[in-house]
Structures are given as structure tokens and as C-alpha cells.
A and B are shown apart, each in its own frame.
Chain A
Amino acid sequence: EVQLVESGGGLVQPGGSLRLSCAASGFAFSSYWMHWVRQVPGKGLVWVSRINSDGSSTTSADSVKGRYTTSRDNAKNTLYLQMNSLRAEDTAVYYCTRDMRATLGYDAFDMWGRGTMVTVSS
């Protein structure tokens, strides 16, 4: 089955760290750029970061730059988001998404996981 499954969310104190994982299956993971998108419950979607297909290049939103690190292990078909120095405003559902430029050349997100909830609170 073609799917993305996030894990690693939970409750963490302000200033703490958390690592999210996104396990991919059913497609050639190593061919695709991947992104993280977050959503505060009841609010809109916010792009967080992206990584290219071989992991050699990453880009992040200014709000997380210097605190979040995006990486991947193509041998394990897994995407990661290392989150440090967490703040209350980082509380959100975090989705991993697949970028369709590998197939059709467009930077739309054609596959989404179900998301994992991260709560930053004391």
C-alpha cells in the first residue's frame, strides 16, 4: 500500500526536543523530495521544511530555522524532523508530504500522512 505514516509526537516541555519520523511505503521513496507541514488544530496549514531526494539539500521556514533539522534515510524509507528548543507556538499536528516534482515536475504535495500531534507545554 502506498502510504506515509508519521510517529514520534507527544507532550514535551518548553525548551525540550522531539524527533518525528515518517515511514514511507509502496513507492520509490529515494526519488522524491519530501516536506513537513504543520497545522495548529482549528487553524491553517503552514509549510515547515523540505528535503531533496538524496538528502543533500534542505530548506526551512524562518520560524523554525536553527531549531529544526530535516533529514532522511533512503535505505530505511524514512523521513525525520528533529525539533529542538521547542516553544508553545510549535504545538501542532505535523504532516509529512510527498512532493510530486519527481513524477510530473510540479511542486505540489500529492501524498500526505495522517499527521502526528506535538504538544509543547509545562
Chain B
Amino acid sequence: QSVLTQPPSVSGAPGQRVTISCTGSSSNIGIGYYVHWYQQLPGTAPKLLIYADNNRPSGVPDRFSGSRSGTSASLAITGLQAEDEADYYCQSYDTSLSGSVFGGGTKLTVL
């Protein structure tokens, strides 16, 4: 299993708000390492969505936001749109493993 834990799936209707959690431990998120989020549309490479907990790269809509507290982080998507249907991954650094780690991924379904 992955070092960072995400729910396998979430869903929401168009226009709604959904959140995706990412739970780590004292060797990664809990010790203060930043969390980054990626969106992977079907059949494509991942794309950086949020970096350093709550920052959006240029071009990412402000419907996407991130937060971090304790050993967990969250990605929130408001005003859900059909085009948001994708897999979402969190990523951080783990000091015990001396490398980057990803969550197992969460499949977002727009109903």
C-alpha cells in the first residue's frame, strides 16, 4: 500500500464541492514536508494542480484549492465540472524513505 493514504473514489454532481483527503505520518506530512497535488486525465500524463500545500500553477482555475494540517492534507474542488473527472494524486517527501512518495490516487466521478 502507499505511504500516503487517499480514498479510492469520490463523486459529486456538477456544481457541487468535493474534497479529497491525503493522510500521511510523522515521517512525511506530519514533519512539515509540503504536499503537492496532481490531476491525471484518462490516457494522459499527470499534471501539477497544487504545489506547496495551497499554491496553484498558472492556468489552474481557482476552483481548485489545497490545505494541510497535522499529518493530513486535502484537495477541494468547488463548482464541479464534467471535465474534472480524473484521477487525483497527492505527493510529499518521506524522510524515512529518503524520497518522494505518492498517495494511491483518488478517482473523481462527476455524476
- The distance from the CB of A35 to the nearest CB of chain B, in whole angstroms, is 7
- What residues of B have a CB within 8 angstroms of the CB of A106 in the complex? 34, 36, 51-52
Residue A12 at the B interface, CB < 8 A? Answer: no
Which residues from chain B contact A47 at a C-beta distance below 8 Å? 91, 99-102
Contact A109 B93 (CB under 8 A): no
Q: A109: which B residues are within 8 A, CB to CB?
A: 36, 38, 46, 48, 91
Q: Which residue of A lies closest to B92 (CB)?
A: A107
With A95-B46, A112-B45, A113-B45 in contact, is A45–B51 under 8 Å at CB?
Answer: no
Name the distance in Å between A66's Cβ and chain B's nearest Cβ. Answer: 15
* Cα-based distance from A95 to B105 in the complex (angstroms): 17
CA distance A43 to B1 in the complex (A): 11
B contact residues around A61 at 8 Å (CB):
97, 99
Interfacial chain B residues near A85, Cβ < 8 Å: none
Q: How far is the CA of A50 from the CA of B99 in the complex (A)?
A: 8
One of A59, A95, A104, A115 near B99 (C-beta < 8 A): A59
Give min CB distance, A10 to chain B, whole Å: 19
Give residues of chain B (81-111) contacting chain A, Cβ–Cβ below 8 Å.
89, 91, 93, 97-105
> Does chain A have a CB within 8 A of B57?
yes
- A110 in contact (CB, < 8 A): yes
- Give the B interface residue count (CB, 8 A): 25
* Given A45-B46, A114-B45, A115-B45; A108-B102 close (CB under 8 Å): no
Within the assembled complex, what's the spacing in Å between the Cα atoms of A90 and B44? 20
Shortest Cβ distance from A48 into chain B, in angstroms? 9
Chain B min CB distance to A8 (Å): 17
Query: Is A44 a contact of B97 with CB atoms below 8 Å?
Result: no
Contact B38 A107 (CB under 8 A): no
14 residue pairs bridging A and B, Cβ less than 8 Å apart: A44-B103, A45-B91, A45-B102, A45-B105, A46-B102, A59-B99, A61-B99, A95-B46, A104-B51, A104-B52, A106-B34, A107-B93, A107-B100, A110-B51
